[in-house]
Structure 1
Amino acid sequence: MQKPISITAIASISPLGKSLDEAWENYQNDTHCITEKSFQNGTALAAEITNEAKQEIENLRTSDHKYKSLDDTVLYAIYASRQAVKQAKWNGSDNFGINIGSSRGATQLFETYHEDFLKSNKAKTLSSPTTTLGNISSWVAHDLQTEGPEISHSITCSTALHAMLNGVAWINSGMCNKFLVGGSEAPLTPFTIAQMKALKIYADNSQNYPCRALDLNKKHNSMVLGEGASMICLEGGKKENALAIVKGIGYATEILEHNISISSDAKCFQKSMKMALGDINPDDIDVVIMHAPGTIKGDISEYKAIEKIFCNKIPSLTTNKWKIGHTFGASGALNIEFALLMLKHQKFIGVPYLESQNSPKKIKNILVNAVGFGGNAVSIFLSK
């Protein structure tokens, strides 16, 4: 890190609600947001945004005739971006940068357009522009009326934290002094669910907590998909209105041995966490928010990486995927929100089904992890 970066605002729309207050209220109970959802060929577990949030998205969709053809991924991003920028008191004339990503992109629209194509052998007029990944940041920029740099990308499940890396890099370069970063995902579609089930990593409905993220003794994979978006406002230096300071960033990529796997002790996470910590004593980290997708290998490998880095004193460990599912490209930004809420309220939110959890005496330094298919790991070091 060349200089500290302030997080001056964050906003989201997710199964936890459509505001920080709603999210924190929902974190206070041990109830998960996972339900049985109907799809074309039956049902599957999923974590949907709330009914109130769905109504907000429909209101947004009908507020502008151009928005009627947009995928939920884009609308979620627009909604959360409006709230974040409002909190930060940014104006479109600031020409701040935008970097928003998604693992899957416009999944629902793509499936709908492809189904129409198979029936008619013709593509709908807007099928290309509305399913292009780059339309997320460009539509957000249009909605916020800003003319700064805009970037969209997909780096699977670490997409949102890679957006943070880019925002930090742009600010440190002096090319931009403000950046809006985050991730958006609307993957609750028949084909996406079928893909995850084909990998044999999806949960069934046999337990009170279907997603057993961070349960290192589980015998079955238990990943569940969720949806939502989270947007983060970054500014250079230490600002008076900072929710937290980004004190370190780390990243690493593993050499692929399998299409979806990482090494048994997650060497990518070892490297990303070590880089993010820099010169700080690992003992000073109070909490690690793990990626922990609820798969057997994924959870254990990340835990082993943490053991390697924090050999003297394992920090308090937690995850939110047991509650809201895995939101793919948005998950890293929702983890940042989780961290900021714990920093603000000075209360540790653990995992209810774990027999014993180590709660921190204080919450000042938090490390947030995310990793995507192929070992694209990112770690962000936040401090109050």
Structure 2
Amino acid sequence: MLKPISITAISSYSPLGKTSEEVWNNYKTNTHCITLQDGHLVSALSKNLKAEILELRTSDLKYKSLDDSVLFGIFSARKASEAAQWDKNDNFGINIGSSRGATKLFENYHEDFLKRNKTETLSSPTTTLGNISSWIAHDLQTKGPEISHSITCSTALHAMLNGVAWLQSDLTSKFLVGGSEAPLTAFTIAQMQALKIYARNNMAYPCQALDLQKKQNTMILGEGAAMACLESGIKENALATVKGIGYATEVLKHNASLSTNADCFQDSMAMALGDLNPDEIDVIVTHTPGTIKGDAAEVNAINKVFKNKVPALTNNKWKIGHTLGASGLLSLEMAVLMLVNQEFIAVPYLDTQKPKRLKNVLVNAVGFGGNAVSILISK
């Protein structure tokens, strides 16, 4: 890192709620947000949050035709920029990604096309991946650079990398980064089931993320959005500082799997650590999606990098499922909240020793293609 980067606000819109207080209080309980919906285990927004989405959709004609992934992002971005006390004159940059983009809307348009052999006028502009950042920029009335991308499940942390790069280059002094995902459609769930990684049993904790003793895959899809406000330098209102960034891609032997020891994670974590002694890391918020091979590969990589002292490991997918492109920023939010509140949130079904301090936290994410990102943040 050429110079420090401050995280001056972080906000999410997820099954955990929409305010930092609500999210933190939900993290402090051992209950999860996973329910049965149309016969599938999912982690969905509450009825109250869905009502807000409907209200936004009907409040203005321009929002009527937008996908939920865009509306989730708008809500979360509003809260984050407000908390950071940014306004449109700041002309901050925006990089919001999504793994799937306008999933439900695209499927609806395609279903209509198959019936009528023609489609609606707005079918193309409302289903492009760039829709999220463009609409958030429009909603917040900022004129800074806007970027959208999809790098599967590491998308949100790749947005973080891009924001840091822009700030390090002095091309801008503020950047809003994050991810948004609304994947709870029958077709998307069927895709995960086709990979044989989706949970089948409604147990006390249906997603057994980080449990290396499980006998079957337990990934569950969730929906939501999360955003972080990044600023150059050390700010008085900083929640945490970005101390290191790491990224890597490994040579694939399968379209969806990591190597046994997750070489990409070993490289991304080592890069994020830089010259810092690995023993200085107190907690790792893992990506571990609840699959047998994926969870084991990441833990193997952690053991390779942190030979002398493995940090306390935790995860939020057991609680809110896997939100694909938004998951990395939701993990980062969890890390920031632990630093701010100086309290470790453990996985309830695992026997994890609590860290003696909470100063340096590493956050991991990886997606199809073996593209890993690790972000090191500090109190």
- TM-score norm. by structure 2 comes to 0.99
Aligned to 1:380: 375
Structure 1 residues 1-384: aligned runs within 5 Å: 1-38=1-38, 43-354=39-350, 356-384=351-379
Identity between Structure 1 and Structure 2 (%): 70
Distance 1:103 1:272 in 2: 20
- Secondary structure in structure 2 of the residue aligned to 1:200: coil
Q: Would you say the 8 A contact 2:41–2:202 is kept in 1?
A: no
- TM-score norm. by structure 1 comes to 0.98
Distance 1:318 1:14 in 2: 19
Distance 1:2 1:52 in 2: 43
Distance 1:55 1:9 in 2: 25
Residues 315-337 of structure 1 deviation map (CA, whole Å, 9 limit, x = unaligned): 00000000000000000000010
- Secondary structure in structure 1 of the residue aligned to 2:358: coil
Give, as a single letter, the amino acid of the residue that structure 2 aligns with 1:383. Answer: S
Distance 2:208 2:2 in 1: 38
Shift of 1:206: 4.1
Question: In angstroms, what is the RMSD of aligned CA positions?
Answer: 0.6
The structure 1 segments of at least 4 consecutive aligned residues displaced by more than 3 Å after TM superposition are none
Distance 2:352 2:223 in 1: 27
Distance 2:160 2:128 in 1: 21
Structure 1, unaligned stretches of length 5 or more?
Answer: none
- Secondary structure in structure 2 of the residue aligned to 1:125: coil
Q: Would you say the 8 A contact 2:153–2:368 is kept in 1?
A: yes
Shift of 1:57: 1.3
Give, as a single letter, the amino acid of the residue that structure 1 aligns with 2:29. Answer: N
Moved more, 205-214 or 225-234: 205-214
Residues 58-97 of structure 1 deviation map (CA, whole Å, 9 limit, x = unaligned): 2221222100000000000000000000000001111100
Distance 2:159 2:194 in 1: 29
Give the count of matched residue pairs.
Answer: 379
Residues 8-32 of structure 1 deviation map (CA, whole Å, 9 limit, x = unaligned): 0011100101111110111111111
Structure 2, unaligned stretches of length 5 or more?
Answer: none
